Amino acid sequence: MIDPAIRLRRAIHSNDALLARRILASHPSLLHNPDLSLSGNANSNLHLAATLGHLAICRLLIDLNHEAGTPALNDDHQTALMLAAAAGHTEIVHALSEADPAAILRQDVRGRDAIMEASLHGHDTAVQILLTYAPGGAADALARADLEGNTALHFASSNGHLLVLRTLLAAGADAGRKNVWSWTAEAYSATVQAEVYLRALVAEVERRKLARRADEVAVAAAAAAGKKGAAVRLVGKDVGD
């Protein structure tokens, strides 16, 4: 008889949610089932399913409260969401973000979070989903850095992911932010094309900020002028006759 823990992992590899459900019904203690083999990195069932991109298994494990209380962590303190984000499995990223938005900001032993992982590997749709669900808003999430001071923008730039660069800057990433080595994201550009593109994006963002400020000043001036005009008393030319 094959060990139930191994049978469960095989069911996950096969994306057989029905079989996985039956095994877990008979062996509820295997809900997390960390892989303690030399190469397993203590990945739980959800880590494995998220890495493989098996949405049905992930939904099953979420429904069975796999992540109740706190997300499962492997030996590198990575969540299943980090692994899904790194692999670009957008449907799983969406499901996990929706189930537990707080997991988006969790950091592993290197200080990286799911947004950094998606940015590092160039998965723009996953980045957008994570920023949408990030607690505290996208700008706050993008201000976070790993242990070396690298932000999501550093990771996207250093790997030449142009779409991700545009998404991050539009969401409020700080292009002037330096890591512990005093390098900006632009300095880490993987290619000349990425460097030129990032510089153009930064200039575009600055132009929009200036235009927005000018509009705000104009609106405020118009409002002030309107109030001043409303206080003027209009009189006829015969007053005082």
In the chain, where the domains are located: 1-75, 79-232
Q: Give residue 240's pLDDT.
A: 47
Residue 228: the pLDDT is: 63
Give phi and psi for 3, each to the nearest 5. Answer: -55, 135
pTM: 0.85
The pLDDT of residue 239 is 42
pLDDT at 229 (0 to 100): 58
Q: What is the rounded CA–CA span in Å between residue 166 and residue 172?
A: 10
Three-state SS string over 101-154 comes to: HHHHHCCCCCCCCHHHHHHHCCCHHHHHHHHHHCCCCHHHHHCCCCCCCCCHHH
Terminal-to-terminal C-alpha distance of the chain? 114
The per-residue pLDDT of the chain, averaged, comes to 91
- Distance, in Å, from the CA atom of 144 to the CA atom of 116, rounded to the nearest integer, reads 9
Per-residue pLDDT tens, the chain, 241 aa: give them.
799 999 999 999 999 999 999 999 999 999 999 999 999 999 999 999 999 999 999 999 999 999 999 999 999 999 999 999 999 999 999 999 999 999 999 999 999 999 999 999 999 999 999 999 999 999 999 999 999 999 999 999 999 999 999 999 999 999 999 999 999 998 888 788 888 888 888 888 778 777 777 777 778 777 777 766 555 444 455 544 4
What is the identity of the amino acid at 56?
A
- Domain 79-232 adopts which CATH fold? 1.25.40
Residue type, 172: G
Q: What is the pLDDT of residue 241?
A: 42
